[in-house]
Every structure is written in structure tokens, then in C-alpha cells.
Amino acid sequence: MNILSRVLVTIIALLHVGFLVLEMFLWSGPIGQRVFAMTPEFASQSAVLAANQGFYNGLLAAGLLWGALRNKREFMIFFLICVIAAGIFGGLTAKITILYTQAAPGIVALVAVLAARPKASG
């Protein structure tokens, strides 16, 4: 498997770890409020929902890292498709910039994984 594709998948995984931290731990604080342009009241009211989103982002990160570290092409493809689908849905329903911060990088990584030569089976 091409090293570039695994590096890109790892970067996408690290982005999702960052989303996890932002949504689970920083949501109600000044950073979360600034990033998502929320009032303290709204941040407090939506914190449980944001933590749930963060947890799912963590699962995406875990799957991507597992695929990249174990060189499992099918895992990388599956989890990148999940990332892209979530990014498109979020971009269309929540905030258009999610298309650029989540879906677009996922598409770039998916193209790299698909273009990389699969390891030869023994």
C-alpha cells in the first residue's frame, strides 16, 4: 500500500480526534463557543448532543487508524466513505464549511487509497 495514502488516512484520523476533543471536551468553553459561533446558553443546552457527535468522530478515527496501522485497505475505504458521507450530510444540514473540513479531505484520502496498489497476496 502506498505510504502517501496511509499518511493521508492518518491525517484524516487525527482530524477526527481533534473533532472528538472539540465536541466532547471544549464544546461549552470559549473555544467551542467561538468555533461554532454559539452563545453560552446554547452550548450548555447542546453539550450532550455534541459529546455524542464527538464519540462518533472518535469511532471514525479509531477505524481509520486501525486501517492505516494494519495496512487494511478495506478498513480505510469503508471508514473514509463514512467520513465523506458524514461530511456531506453535515455540510448540507448544519454548516457548509463541513464540506471543506471533513468531506473534501476524506475524498482526497479515498482517491489516494484507491489509486495505491494493494499489497500482493501471498
Domain contains 68:
yes
Q: Strand, coil or helix: what is 86?
A: helix
Per mean pLDDT, which range of 92-96, 104-108, 115-119 is the poorest? Answer: 115-119
Structural domains counted in the chain: 1
In a domain, 79, yes or no: yes
pLDDT mean across residues, the chain: 95
Q: Is 77 in contact with 114 (CB distance < 8 Å)?
A: yes
The C-alpha cell that represents 53 in the structure block = 457527535
Distance from C-alpha of 69 to C-alpha of 55, rounded to nearest angstrom: 21
Percent of the chain residues past pLDDT 90, beyond the cut: 92
Asked whether the beta carbons of 15 and 79 are under 8 A apart, the reply is no
Name the residue range of residue 52's domain: 3-115
* Beta strand segments in the chain, E: none
Tell whether 120 is covered by a domain: no
Position 122 in a domain: no
Q: Could you tell me if residue 121 is inside a domain?
A: no
Q: Which cell numbers in the block locate residue 110?
A: 479515498
Q: Find where cell 500482493 sits.
A: 120
pLDDT digits (tens, 9 = 90+) for 52-104: 999 999 999 999 999 999 999 999 999 999 999 999 999 999 999 999 999 99
pLDDT of residue 120: 62
